[in-house]
Amino acid sequence: MLRKKKGTFYRKSFIWFLLTATIPGVITGAIIYWYSTAQIEKDLSQLHLNQMEQRVKNIDDQLSYLEMDLSNWAFNSRFGYKLKTLDFIYHFQETWDITQTLNVIAGSHPLIKGVELYIDREEPVVFRTEYYKVTDPERIEEYRRLLADKRLVYWDLILDEDTESDDEDAISTADEIRLIHKVPGMITSRFGVLLVRVDSTKLVNLLQTMTPYNEGFTFLLDAGGNVVATDSNDGEKDIHQVLRQEILQYKAGHDGQVSGNFLWNWNNKTYSVSYGNMKRIQTDWTYVSASPITAIISPLMTLSRVIITVSLSVLLLGLFLSWLASNWIYTPVRRLMSKIEDSDITPQKLDEFEYLERQWSHLTNQQVTLQERLNEQLPNLRNSFLQQLIQGHLYAYTEQDLRKRMERYGWDTDSNRFYILRFQLAGYDNLKGRFGPGDESLVTFMASNIIEEIAAASFRQYVVLNFHDLSVAMFLSSKQDAQEAEKIRSFAEEVSQKINQWLKLYVTITVSRAIEQLKQTHEVFMEAERFAGYRRLTNQSQFLFIEEMPEETMTNETSYPFALEQDILQALRSGKLSETERCISQFMNELAARQDTVIYVQQGMLQLLGSILHAIMQSGISTFRLFEGENLYEQLSQIREPGNMLKWMKEKVIQPYIEERSARADRQLKEIVEQTIDYIHANYMRDISLDECADRVGTSPYTLSRLFKQITGVNFIDYVTHVRIEKAKELLQDPHRKINEVATDVGYQQRYFNRIFKKQVGVTPGQYREMYLEATSVNKN
């Protein structure tokens, strides 16, 4: 029988040795071979695609910023309807301002190569760095072609004539990229073009960032298939046509998806090609990036082939070694089997070790192991059950089922009563230097450990639950006797002393009423949380025994400081930040002095928040926009400490409103002065008065005079005089115009004009004309 021939165990051990010695090498080679081809190609393609998405977003953002900036400038009042009839020579100051504005636009974005402003009128003009009249018919025709386009803003490409072909599918390359916006932007009757020329070199530099390797190429195609920009050499231009056809075929096979990634063979190289859609104004561009991966994969493929070859060689050696090892290991088994023999057990049913297991029977040891595991998991099961009970997740269970489960976890439910103790830590803001923002969870963990250590010495059955928000709860089972209440009180006092001694914190301990039925556990827990709000605002530990609290404590009505609320609202409407913050601090102190419990202070601050938000809405400012849609009531209701409430009210509510109010006031005052200046320039020849201008802008003469001096730096009368004298200088340069006519044209009588002119310029009008004519004649000679 068993000892006369080798049994099942020998055959199994031989097979396992063979597999152990040979198969791992073969599997390793196969895995590396597979990973080096398909998986690495996939990972590299995905890496390329991820890099592409990030860099395409950067390019798209750059072009979007350019489009947005151009639209903002096109709606600028400087490019308004007056350009249609403005005399650019006569109004040289406005002409100068336009050229300066174009220079600002040209420097506002790194991709801008140049900016032009074309105005189509009887004598067309164009602004670049200076003002020019356009006389070339071809240029005028080109500008009018841009103006005739029905689109308000669009991209325009000037294609390279060398790339033109009779083939309809041929791709042309852009010689120049332009962004066009018609002006004026605010009306439908447009007579000009604001043209931005894009720097192709910088755009190509951006495209080169899309290629993650030293080799490869990248280009942009417009909706018509023309190349907008490319970093390819001249010898690679035909690759655009080929790759475009590949992308069209790939789209056709993938339901026309606008972006994708695939492998492509070209000139004995494998490229990872990524493409996608880039939406531009009035058109769609397609970006294409191709990077080679063949050179990266080939060394790994060679290495994997070597590993497979070596593994197959080891297979033969492993076969021989497995045979030797099996015989050597089976020797003691053969000796043991020769001493133990049972004729009722045949080798066909059991192997050698199964036969030994039947004889020695390890079932007892297995039972012991299972019992030990159960004892190890019992505390975790008990804690999990009690946590679900407190949170109300076991409400569907009957009272009998709950008590059976408690008894199963080792709790005594007949002679014991149950309580919930809630610990609320206070004074965390005073721990500066020891703990920083966000360490509340760490402090709560330390406090829960202290509570658990003290509870272990005082009670037999309890569970401590850490809520990680400066609050801890404990489910307690206590003997029902005369010393029960005193024992709980002593425990609470010891906990408060230790937490104050070790953590420098105060703790409010709320002890619930006795739980008669386990189904009431969740209700009692919520009651303890509510009663924690009745703690007083003192820097000391407090004990709240719900069963001992007087009824009037929960029914007292709070006294609200309405007079201080009106002071706060008045200071807020006046825009006085320091006064408002002082009044709020006084409001908090008054509120705490009248009712020094947390719940009443929090209710008072919530009432004040509602009044403040109502006052902000009355001032014309949207609270939804000002506070970005945040739920301020929910945020304030989560704050328990009065100091934190006061800090939150100042930083989150008062300061943003005062800043928004000041910004609005500054903009309105500047607009008043700008309207007055425009009126002066348009009516300087009339008898302009400060009262008249004040009536036009809807303010008092005193206020307008003060604002005018504050913003421009000169008085109202001095500014009007300066404008008139400058205009008079221009008119005096005409020798045929009489001085009394000049005086009338600038709003003065001749006698007064001579006096004010000499006072401002230093010479009389006649002397100024003579000096100007002499200087002109000298320059001509």
Residue-wise pLDDT for 236-275, tens only, equals 667 777 887 788 777 777 777 778 777 888 777 788 788 8
For the chain, percent of residues with pLDDT exceeding 70: 78
Instruction: For residue 349, name the pLDDT band (cuts at 50, 70, 90).
Output: low
- The phi and psi torsions of 389 (rounded to 5 degrees) equal -65, -45
Examine the domain organization and report whether 158 and 104 are in the same domain: yes
Peptide bond into 347 cis (omega under 30): no
pLDDT score of 347: 47
Residue 7 resides in a domain: no
CATH (domain of 709): 1.10.10.60
Name the residue range of residue 159's domain.
Answer: 46-295
Residue 601 resides in a domain: yes
> Is the per-residue pLDDT at 556 higher than 60?
no
Query: How many helices (H) and strands (E) are present in the chain, helices listed first?
Result: 27, 16
**Distance between CA atoms of 730 and 375, rounded to whole angstroms?**
105
pLDDT score of 286: 87
Examine the domain organization and report whether 389 and 473 are in the same domain: yes
Residue 504 resides in a domain: yes
Give the range among 80-84, 170-174, 500-504, 517-521 with minimum mean pLDDT.
170-174
Examine the domain organization and report whether 104 and 158 are in the same domain: yes
**Distance between CA atoms of 297 and 278, rounded to whole angstroms?**
31
Looking only at the bridges linking them, the beta strands covering 260-266 and 227-230 are unpaired
Closest CA to 10 of 334, 473, 413: 334
The last residue of a domain, from among 240, 274, 295: 295
Residue 313 resides in a domain: no
pLDDT score of 326: 66
C-alpha to C-alpha distances, 91 to 87, 97, 105, 180, nearest whole angstrom: 6, 10, 22, 27
Instruction: For residue 294, name the pLDDT band (cuts at 50, 70, 90).
Output: low
Mean pLDDT of 31-56: 67
- The phi and psi torsions of 744 (rounded to 5 degrees) equal -65, -40
Mean pLDDT of 348-359: 62
> Is the per-residue pLDDT at 344 higher than 80?
no
> Is the per-residue pLDDT at 149 higher than 60?
yes
Segment holding 747, helix H or strand E: none
Over residues 102-143, the pLDDT tens digits come to: 888 888 888 888 898 888 888 898 988 777 788 888 888 888
Examine the domain organization and report whether 401 and 447 are in the same domain: yes
Over residues 3-40, the pLDDT tens digits come to: 445 566 666 666 766 666 666 666 765 666 566 656 66
Over residues 150-164, the pLDDT tens digits come to: 888 989 888 876 655
CATH (domain of 404): 3.30.70.270
> Is the per-residue pLDDT at 486 higher than 80?
yes
Residue 502 resides in a domain: yes
Give the range among 132-146, 334-348, 735-749 with minimum mean pLDDT.
334-348
Examine the domain organization and report whether 100 and 231 are in the same domain: yes
Examine the domain organization and report whether 596 and 614 are in the same domain: yes
The answer to whether 114 and 106 are in contact (CB under 8 A) is yes
Q: Could you tell me where the beta strands, DSSP code E, fall in 512-563?
A: 542-545
Sign for the pseudo-dihedral over CA of 197, 200, 201, 205: positive
pLDDT score of 4: 45
Residue 277 resides in a domain: yes
Residue with more model confidence, 180 or 217 = 180
> Is the per-residue pLDDT at 165 higher than 60?
no
**Distance between CA atoms of 222 and 282, rounded to whole angstroms?**
11
Examine the domain organization and report whether 762 and 629 are in the same domain: no
pLDDT score of 398: 84
Over residues 701-715, the pLDDT tens digits come to: 887 887 787 777 788
DSSP β-bridge partners for residue 155: 179
Closest CA to 109 of 152, 68, 156, 155: 68
3-state secondary structure of 267: coil
Instruction: For residue 508, name the pLDDT band (cuts at 50, 70, 90).
Output: confident
The answer to whether 274 and 54 are in contact (CB under 8 A) is no
The last residue of a domain, from among 656, 687, 720: 656
- Give rounded-to-5 percent helix, strand, coil for the chain: 60, 15, 25
DSSP β-bridge partners for residue 285: 278
Over residues 80-109, the pLDDT tens digits come to: 888 888 888 888 888 888 888 888 888 888
Strand order in the sheet with 217-221: 227-230, 217-221, 283-292, 269-280, 260-266
3-state secondary structure of 468: coil
Examine the domain organization and report whether 393 and 519 are in the same domain: yes
If one counts the domains in the chain, the total is 4
Examine the domain organization and report whether 703 and 749 are in the same domain: yes
Instruction: For residue 50, name the pLDDT band (cuts at 50, 70, 90).
Output: confident
> Is the per-residue pLDDT at 348 higher than 60?
no
Examine the domain organization and report whether 680 and 547 are in the same domain: no
DSSP β-bridge partners for residue 419: 476
Task: Return the number of other C-beta atoms located less than 10 Å from residue 221's C-beta.
Answer: 23
Segment holding 478, helix H or strand E: strand 471-479
DSSP class of residue 629 equals: T
pLDDT score of 102: 84
Give the range among 374-378, 468-472, 689-693 with minimum mean pLDDT.
374-378
Residue 31 resides in a domain: no
pLDDT score of 521: 81
3-state secondary structure of 516: coil
Residue 344 resides in a domain: no
> Is the per-residue pLDDT at 406 higher than 50?
yes
Residue with more model confidence, 153 or 439 = 153
Give me the amino acid identity at 107: G
pLDDT score of 606: 81
DSSP class of residue 4 equals: T
614-623: long-range contacts at Cβ-Cβ below 8 A with a sequence spacing of 24 or more?
A: 615/569, 615/572, 615/573, 616/572, 616/657, 619/573, 619/661, 621/657, 621/660, 621/661, 621/664
Examine the domain organization and report whether 632 and 501 are in the same domain: no
> Is the per-residue pLDDT at 283 higher than 60?
yes
Examine the domain organization and report whether 679 and 652 are in the same domain: no
CATH (domain of 158): 3.30.450.30
**Distance between CA atoms of 106 and 87, rounded to whole angstroms?**
24
> Average pLDDT over the chain, rounded to whole?
78
Instruction: For residue 692, name the pLDDT band (cuts at 50, 70, 90).
Output: confident
Task: Return the number of other C-beta atoms located less than 10 Å from residue 518's C-beta.
Answer: 22
The last residue of a domain, from among 295, 326, 346: 295
